[in-house]
């Protein structure tokens, strides 16, 4: 284990003293109000599917209300973001000061704008020429910044004791509080305007925001999504809740316990750049196992799903980590943003000793298995055995994190970028330079899928809470994953496959019931995304089950099993992006775990993988010659081909049920 650096030691005592000391605030100011009487929801949708159908959405979308979108010349606000997601054109900035029109290839079923809660007030005040503080030093610095790290507020989201700027907010903060309220009301109004309140239920617009703690340089971000129109009166930010459990507690008291019909969940994202902090197994400030179990129980309840993929990379898994035993999973090399973002080759393991909770980081500067969802799912089994609660009982989803207000705009062949003018220019967009915004290490991001009875807030939110959710790297693949003791071996060839699986098994996100046989069976079936007429979807190559468990010595084990399909020789020509080779429109298999141990906890989830296809960066390079051809096109840091995929939420086995 590497020693703590001199830099870290010099800060350690101060940071430990400061940790968890954000601005004091009266929790009552966040208390949710009942939904306005003007907001109505249909009793039921005309199009209702008792066995649930796949619906696709994006729950991670930024607009010009986020400073790291506005600074790149984006002018689209929340109303426009919902408009794009549901099928209309918006205008994106060009480097020459002009704009170009973009439209999503296929409208989403549901979406949420999730602008940053942190400094929402400062952002609105400093970009409004009529504001009395427009010419303040802080405002001039905000407007002059050309990257998030240039902003005078950049250090605030890393500092363990964040505060607001008095030259903007005033010493009493009233000016910023009023601006925050105005921005929050704009977000709410946009969602309500786009929410389909008829029985047609053609689209669902959730109300949400992003909690953007980057405490001590490690990512702790969460997207906060509300179930309906009763929401907190003001978003809880890192300024008021400097630790994630403080966020959960405030959301619980101000929303769920307010008696107004408010419900909420939080979705962690980009654990891949969390320096091992997102899924850390520790409970600062607790003294007993009972207190630890209570916090773990709150975490599991408040965070039922985790974002496994977005434009800053894949957070499922990583090859070569020393703590992980079992299969070498080559598909874990997919979209490793952290490699280029911080030049991770040869990086040390993250420090995990005394005062690790107060260790400062310069971005994702170390490697840890606790930065990846798969290993958190496995380690959660051990924690459940220790304290009786699994804090990492979560399902998997994906979204974009677009800063172009283009929720769901994930098609590789004509991706419009994610960061305004920062990647509207191909030279910058395909740059290999680490830590540059508008960089080839970014990607279009993914989508969340849910299995819900209807396209309504209540039905979709319930699906997320019960973890009947999945993520894709962009394509609208439809995977279904069931577990049980009595699933028929001939399920895939028998009529009524879905009804039979639903009758005798449990779907993704569930626990297996009490053991009734020697080993459980799992049914995994998936249908490919057929795409659009001008851009057909890819064929499926294989479906896999990933199993995780913990041995008697605490070792974390993974096993990756192809249960249908497999390597098939399919390929793509990166010069033309023409695909060739066999593949499947759908795949199905029933698999019985041959190494099942009835005395050992286990977690299982599914992954379906497409044939190889072109990454967006290869599509960008087609036809470029001479000075117009970026260096990356001929010497790519990120290969020209990818294998798109989808991940199901897990199914858990616990001895005794």
- The model's pLDDT over 632-655, given as tens digits with 9 standing for 90+, comes to 899 888 899 999 999 999 999 999
User: Of 434, 463, 492, which residue sits at a domain end?
Assistant: 463
Taking the C-alpha atoms of residue 192 and residue 500, their distance in angstroms, rounded to an integer, is 38
Same-domain pairing of 459 and 489: no
Q: Is the pLDDT of residue 205 over 50?
A: yes
Please compute the mean of the pLDDT values over residues 340-349 and round it to a whole number: 64
Task: Kindly report the backbone phi and psi dihedral angles of residue 459, in degrees, each rounded to the nearest multiple of 5, phi listed first.
Answer: -70, -45
Q: Counting beta carbons within 10 angstroms of the beta carbon of residue 10, is it exposed (0 to 12), middle (13 to 18) or buried (19 or more)? A: exposed
Same-domain pairing of 238 and 296: yes
Q: How many residues does this entry show for the chain? A: 657
Q: What is the pTM of this model?
A: 0.95
Same-domain pairing of 145 and 275: yes
Tokens of 371: 């930065």
Is 108 domain-assigned?
Answer: yes
Which of 254-258, 297-301, 336-340, 528-532 is the least confident region?
Answer: 336-340
Is 208 domain-assigned?
Answer: yes
Q: For residue 37, what pLDDT is reported?
A: 76
Same-domain pairing of 428 and 482: no
Same-domain pairing of 493 and 396: no
Q: Which residue has the higher pLDDT, 444 or 422?
A: 444
Q: For residue 359, what pLDDT is reported?
A: 85
Is 488 domain-assigned?
Answer: yes
Same-domain pairing of 454 and 507: no
Taking the C-alpha atoms of residue 57 and residue 37, their distance in angstroms, rounded to an integer, is 27
Same-domain pairing of 115 and 238: yes
Taking the C-alpha atoms of residue 365 and residue 191, their distance in angstroms, rounded to an integer, is 38
Taking the C-alpha atoms of residue 512 and residue 485, their distance in angstroms, rounded to an integer, is 8
pLDDT category, 24, cuts 50, 70, 90?
low
Which of 154-158, 460-464, 587-591, 623-627 is the least confident region?
Answer: 154-158
pLDDT category, 425, cuts 50, 70, 90?
confident
Q: What angle do CA 497, 500, 505 make, to 5 degrees?
A: 115
Phi-psi region of 492 (alpha: psi -120 to 50; beta: other; left: phi over 0): alpha
Is 349 domain-assigned?
Answer: yes
pLDDT category, 22, cuts 50, 70, 90?
low
488-510, pLDDT tens digit by residue? Answer: 999 999 899 999 999 999 999 99
User: Of 463, 490, 512, which residue sits at a domain end?
Assistant: 463
Half-sphere exposure of 434 (CA within 13 A, CB side): 12
In the block, tokens 């946009």 appear at: 190
Tokens of 543: 């479906």
Taking the C-alpha atoms of residue 524 and residue 212, their distance in angstroms, rounded to an integer, is 36
264-317, pLDDT tens digit by residue? Answer: 999 999 999 999 999 999 999 999 999 999 999 999 999 999 999 999 999 999
Is 41 domain-assigned?
Answer: no
pLDDT category, 345, cuts 50, 70, 90?
low
Cβ partners under 8 Å of residue 461, min gap 6:
206, 225, 227, 228, 263, 265
Q: For residue 613, what pLDDT is reported?
A: 98
Is 42 domain-assigned?
Answer: no
pLDDT category, 344, cuts 50, 70, 90?
low
Q: Is the pLDDT of residue 444 over 60?
A: yes
Tokens of 429: 């967009």
Q: Is the pLDDT of residue 15 over 50?
A: no
**Average pLDDT along the chain:** 92
Which of 16-30, 121-135, 427-441 is the least confident region?
Answer: 16-30
Same-domain pairing of 431 and 502: no
Q: Is the pLDDT of residue 433 over 90?
A: no
Q: How far is CA 396 from CA 48, 314, 602, 648, in A?
A: 24, 12, 17, 6
Q: For residue 361, what pLDDT is reported?
A: 84
* Partner residues linked to 548 by β-bridges: 558, 603
pLDDT category, 20, cuts 50, 70, 90?
very low
Is 606 domain-assigned?
Answer: yes
99-140, pLDDT tens digit by residue? Answer: 999 999 999 999 999 999 999 999 999 999 999 999 999 999
Q: For residue 575, what pLDDT is reported?
A: 94
Q: Is the pLDDT of residue 60 over 50?
A: yes
Q: For residue 187, what pLDDT is reported?
A: 98
User: Of 407, 434, 463, which residue sits at a domain end?
Assistant: 463
Given CA atoms 625, 631, 635, 637 in this order, what sign does their dihedral have?
negative
Percent above pLDDT 90 for the chain: 78
Q: Which of 6-20, 306-320, 616-630 has the highest mean pLDDT?
A: 306-320
* Partner residues linked to 100 by β-bridges: 92
Same-domain pairing of 203 and 127: yes
Q: Is the pLDDT of residue 374 over 90?
A: yes
| DSSP-derived 3-state class of residue 5 | coil
Please compute the mean of the pLDDT values over residues 32-53 and round it to a whole number: 88
209-268, pLDDT tens digit by residue? Answer: 999 999 998 999 999 999 999 999 999 999 999 999 999 999 999 999 999 999 999 999
Q: For residue 346, what pLDDT is reported?
A: 61
Q: Counting beta carbons within 10 angstroms of the beta carbon of residue 628, is it exposed (0 to 12), middle (13 to 18) or buried (19 or more)? A: exposed
Tokens of 626: 């001479």
The total domain count for the chain is 2
538 alpha carbon, distance to own chain's centre? 23
DSSP string, 428-452: HHT---TT-SS-TT-----EEEEEE
In the block, tokens 């500092």 appear at: 159
DSSP string, 108-131: -SEEEE--BSTTHHHHHHHT-TTS
Q: For residue 505, what pLDDT is reported?
A: 97
Q: For residue 6, what pLDDT is reported?
A: 31
Please compute the mean of the pLDDT values over residues 177-192 and round it to a whole number: 97
Q: For residue 13, what pLDDT is reported?
A: 35
Q: For residue 8, what pLDDT is reported?
A: 35
Same-domain pairing of 155 and 251: yes
Taking the C-alpha atoms of residue 498 and residue 479, their distance in angstroms, rounded to an integer, is 12
Q: For residue 3, what pLDDT is reported?
A: 30
Is 15 domain-assigned?
Answer: no
Same-domain pairing of 509 and 591: yes
Same-domain pairing of 443 and 482: no
Percent above pLDDT 70 for the chain: 95
Q: Which domain holds residue 496?
A: 477-653
Q: With b meaning 16 or more CB within 10 Å and e meaning fewer, what string describes 409-437?
A: bbbbeebbbbbbbbbbbbebbbbbeeebb
């Amino acid at each position: 284990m590497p020693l703590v650096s001199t830099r870290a030691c010099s800060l350690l005592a101060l940071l430990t003293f400061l940790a968890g000391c954000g601005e004091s605030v009266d929790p009552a100011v966040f208390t949710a109000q009942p939904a306005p009487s003007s907001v109505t929801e249909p009793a039921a949708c005309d199009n209702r599917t008792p066995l649930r159908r796949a619906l696709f959405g994006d729950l991670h979308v930024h607009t010009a209300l986020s400073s790291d979108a506005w600074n790149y010349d984006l002018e689209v606000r929340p109303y426009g973001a919902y408009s794009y997601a549901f099928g209309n054109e918006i205008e994106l900035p060009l480097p020459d000061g002009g704009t170009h029109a973009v439209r999503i290839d296929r409208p989403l079923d549901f979406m949420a704008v999730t602008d940053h809660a942190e400094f929402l007030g400062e952002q609105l005040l400093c970009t409004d020429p009529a504001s009395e503080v427009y010419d303040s030093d802080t405002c001039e610095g905000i407007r002059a910044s050309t990257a998030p790290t240039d902003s005078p507020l950049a250090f605030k989201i890393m500092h363990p004791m964040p505060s607001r700027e008095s030259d903007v907010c005033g010493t009493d903060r009233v000016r910023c509080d009023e601006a925050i309220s105005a921005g929050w009301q704009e977000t709410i109004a946009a969602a309500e305007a786009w929410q389909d309140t008829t029985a047609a239920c053609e689209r669902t617009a959730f109300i949400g925001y992003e909690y953007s703690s980057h405490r001590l340089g490690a990512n702790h971000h969460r997207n906060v999504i509300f179930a309906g129109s009763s929401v907190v009166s003001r978003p809880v930010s890192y300024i008021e809740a400097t630790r994630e459990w403080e966020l959960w507690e405030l959301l619980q008291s101000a929303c769920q316990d307010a008696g107004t019909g408010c419900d909420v969940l939080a979705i962690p994202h980009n654990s891949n750049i969390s320096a091992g902090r997102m899924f850390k197994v520790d409970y600062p400030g607790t003294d007993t196992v009972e207190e630890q179990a209570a916090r773990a129980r709150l975490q599991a309840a408040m965070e039922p799903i985790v974002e496994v993929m977005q434009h800053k990379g894949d957070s499922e898994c990583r090859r070569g980590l020393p703590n992980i035993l079992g299969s070498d999973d080559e598909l874990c090399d997919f979209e490793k943003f952290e490699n280029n973002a911080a030049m991770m080759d040869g990086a040390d393991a993250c420090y995990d000793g005394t005062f690790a909770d107060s260790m400062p980081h310069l971005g994702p500067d170390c490697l840890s298995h606790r930065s990846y969802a798969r290993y958190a799912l496995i380690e959660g089994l051990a924690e459940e055995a220790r304290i009786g609660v699994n804090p990492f009982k979560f399902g998997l989803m994906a979204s974009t994190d677009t800063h172009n207000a283009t929720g769901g705009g994930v098609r590789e062949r004509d991706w419009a970028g994610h960061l305004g003018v920062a990647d509207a220019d191909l030279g910058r967009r395909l740059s290999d330079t680490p830590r540059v915004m508008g960089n080839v290490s970014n990607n279009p991001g993914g989508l969340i899928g849910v299995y819900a009875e209807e396209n309504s807030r209540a039905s979709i939110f319930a699906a997320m809470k019960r973890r009947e959710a999945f993520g894709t790297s962009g394509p609208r693949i439809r995977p279904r994953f069931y577990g049980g003791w009595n699933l028929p071996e001939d399920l895939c060839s028998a009529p009524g496959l879905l009804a039979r699986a639903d009758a005798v098994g449990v779907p993704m996100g569930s626990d297996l019931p009490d053991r009734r046989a020697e080993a459980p069976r799992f049914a995994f079936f998936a249908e490919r995304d057929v795409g659009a007429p001008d851009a057909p979807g890819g064929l499926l190559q294989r479906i896999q089950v990933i199993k995780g468990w913990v041995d008697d010595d605490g070792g974390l084990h993974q096993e990756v099993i192809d249960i249908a399909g497999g390597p098939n020789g399919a390929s793509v020509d990166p010069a033309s992006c023409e695909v060739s080779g066999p593949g499947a429109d759908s795949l199905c298999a029933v698999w019985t775990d041959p190494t099942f141990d009835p005395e050992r906890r286990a977690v299982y989830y599914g992954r379906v993988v497409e044939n190889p296809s072109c990454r967006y960066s290869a599509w960008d390079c087609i036809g470029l010659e001479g000075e117009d051809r970026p260096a990356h096109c001929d010497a790519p840091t990120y290969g020209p081909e990818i294998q798109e995929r989808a991940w199901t939420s897990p199914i858990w086995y616990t001895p005794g049920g």
